[in-house]
């Protein structure tokens, strides 16, 4: 924790109040408009939500990972599309610059991201490169003091509203991390165009679309950190952090689904009594509560380890796998507890059910997390290290 408990407590209180009074009451509107209302975006900027993880010297709140996940537990209690509006500035859209940007790049972009003036977006995925991120085809070819980018990026979160893209592109021909570089490409650069907004199963209000580069000339000064061949490892480190953030979102969503399920189970009467009094309903509530607590404890532990400087690859993959699968089960039980009402749009439970489905896919599928966990565990055993420990 880098803030004192009292200051941090005030931040948590104001975020919780904002979620309860401004976001939860507007969940239906968000889904209906497929857009975060402008007045809410302004309030998010004023609360500092766009700059949660950006250092104070660049205008953010500079939260460490433990503080960030504790704030995100609160933000997760409402429709995840609200968080998406500033989520890329906190996570994948800003962190490449935070971790590997030159001082000049940090100065140029981070302050404007922290105050929400520009939205950052992370462009890695392509039509033929999702889980297999090393196989991206987007190419950057040096031409004098510029690079020329060609290729298509797919399902890029916040692309329709982004001011800056962190673009992973191939500068070498092989299948190695060193063949990939990261470029900071400003929206409006000639040769950069956007596809039509994607129509999604859920998370209405969160924007994604294709980003297309056709002979897009980018000044060489926009190469992240001024160094070719570091883009892939930077992207992976960005995802290590992002996966913890998504895990915290899953915990927050599970908390909310339990709150709603318990409230409904206490109100709903069948066979002459509240359904909350039936042990089969109680079993569902108990399983959801125990699993949410387990995920919350994991996420906090992993965040603290990261703050202590431990490598977060294995721990964040464990959290992402467990927490996002967990919230899928909790959402399923929430629909079940609500019965017919759980299937109806007006109650919003079915919307959560669709919204949280994405958690098991983006920033690395559950299967990719399994692969990462297994590899890290075997690698540690090979070198006689214990991972996590007894
Ligand atoms: N941190 C730092 N470096 C990492 C890393 C991490 N977490 N993960 C991998 N690397 C490095 C490796 O050390 C390796 O470096 P060397 O070439 O110097 O040995 C390099 O990156 C390639 O890694 P690896 O050999 O493991 O590549 P694979 O193709 O076998 O696997 C996975 C890479 C599958 C882990 C990666 O492609 C991945 O995470 N895919 C999912 C992508 C994703 O999450 N997409 C979501 C969309 S973005 S919102």
- CATH architecture of the domain with range 120-230: Beta Barrel (2.40)
Question: What percentage of residues in the chain have a pLDDT greater than 90?
Answer: 97
> What mean pLDDT, rounded, does the chain reach?
97
pLDDT single digits (tens) 208-257: 999 999 999 999 999 999 999 999 999 999 999 999 999 999 999 999 99
Q: What does the pLDDT read at residue 252? A: 98
Q: How far apart are CA 327 and CA 76, in angstroms?
A: 11
Phi, psi of 261 (to 5 degrees): -65, -40
> Band of the pLDDT at 353, cuts 50, 70, 90?
very high
Q: 233-380 domain in CATH 1.20.140.10?
A: yes
Q: What does the pLDDT read at residue 135? A: 97
29 pLDDT higher than 80: yes
> Band of the pLDDT at 112, cuts 50, 70, 90?
very high
Q: What does the pLDDT read at residue 37? A: 97
Q: What distances in angstroms separate CA 189 from CA 47, 213, 219, 297, one per listed residue?
A: 31, 10, 10, 44
Q: Give me ligand 1 centre to Cα 177, in Å.
A: 8
Q: What is the mean pLDDT of residues 86-109?
A: 97
pLDDT single digits (tens) 305-346: 999 999 999 999 999 999 999 999 999 999 999 999 999 999
Q: What does the pLDDT read at residue 113? A: 98
- Ligand 1 pocket, CB under 6 A: 92, 122, 124-125, 131-134, 176-177, 232-233, 236-237, 239-240, 313, 362-364, 368, 372
Q: What distances in angstroms separate CA 236 from CA 10, 22, 68, 103, one per listed residue?
A: 33, 34, 19, 21
Q: How far apart are CA 86 and CA 245, in angstroms?
A: 13
Please identify, by atom number, the ligand 1 atom nearest to the C-alpha of residue 242. 49
Map out the domains of the chain as residue ranges: 5-114, 120-230, 233-380
CATH superfamily of 5-114: Acyl-CoA dehydrogenase/oxidase, N-terminal domain (1.10.540.10)
Q: Residue 170, class by beta-carbon neighbours within 10 Å (0-12 exposed, 13-18 middle, 19+ buried)?
A: buried
Q: What does the pLDDT read at residue 127? A: 98
Q: What does the pLDDT read at residue 2? A: 82
Q: Which residue from 173, 145, 196, 220 is spatially nearest to 34, judged by alpha carbons?
A: 196
> Band of the pLDDT at 46, cuts 50, 70, 90?
very high
């Amino acid at each position: 924790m880098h803030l004192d408990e009292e200051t941090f407590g005030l931040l948590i209180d104001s975020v919780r109040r904002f979620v309860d009074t401004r976001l939860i009451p507007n969940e239906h509107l968000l889904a209906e408009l497929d857009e975060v209302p402008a007045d809410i975006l302004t309030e998010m900027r004023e609360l500092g939500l766009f700059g949660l993880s950006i250092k104070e010297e660049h205008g953010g709140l500079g939260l460490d990972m433990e503080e960030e996940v504790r704030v995100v537990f609160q933000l997760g209690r409402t429709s995840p599309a609200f968080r998406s509006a500033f989520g890329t500035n906190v996570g994948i859209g800003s962190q490449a610059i935070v971790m590997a940007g030159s001082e000049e790049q940090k100065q140029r972009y981070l302050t404007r991201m922290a105050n929400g003036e520009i939205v950052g977006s992370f462009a890695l995925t392509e039509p033929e490169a999702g889980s297999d991120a090393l196989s991206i085809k987007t190419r950057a070819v040096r031409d004098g003091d510029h690079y020329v980018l060609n290729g298509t990026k797919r399902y890029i979160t916040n692309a329709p509203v982004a001011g800056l893209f962190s673009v992973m592109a191939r500068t070498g021909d092989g299948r190695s991390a060193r063949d990939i570089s990261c470029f900071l490409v400003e929206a409006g650069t000639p040769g950069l165009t956007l596809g039509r907004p994607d129509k999604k199963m859920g998370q209405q209000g969160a924007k994604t679309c294709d980003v297309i580069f056709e002979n897009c000339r980018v000044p060489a000064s926009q190469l992240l950190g001024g160094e070719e061949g570091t883009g892939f490892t930077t992207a992976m480190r960005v995802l290590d952090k992002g996966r913890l953030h998504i895990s915290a979102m899953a915990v927050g969503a599970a908390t909310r689904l339990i709150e709603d399920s318990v409230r409904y189970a206490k109100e709903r009467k069948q066979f002459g009594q509240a359904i909350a009094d039936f042990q089969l309903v109680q079993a569902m509530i108990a399983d959801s509560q125990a699993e949410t607590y387990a995920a919350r404890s994991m996420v906090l532990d992993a965040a603290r380890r990261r703050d202590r400087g431990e490598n977060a690859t294995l721990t964040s993959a464990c959290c992402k796998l467990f927490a996002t699968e967990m919230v899928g089960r909790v959402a399923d039980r929430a629909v079940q507890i609500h019965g017919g009402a759980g299937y109806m749009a007006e109650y919003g439970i079915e919307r959560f059910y669709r919204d949280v489905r994405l958690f098991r896919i983006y920033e690395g599928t559950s299967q990719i997390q399994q692969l990462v966990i297994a590899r890290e565990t075997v690698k540690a055993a090979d070198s006689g290290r214990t991972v996590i420990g007894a």
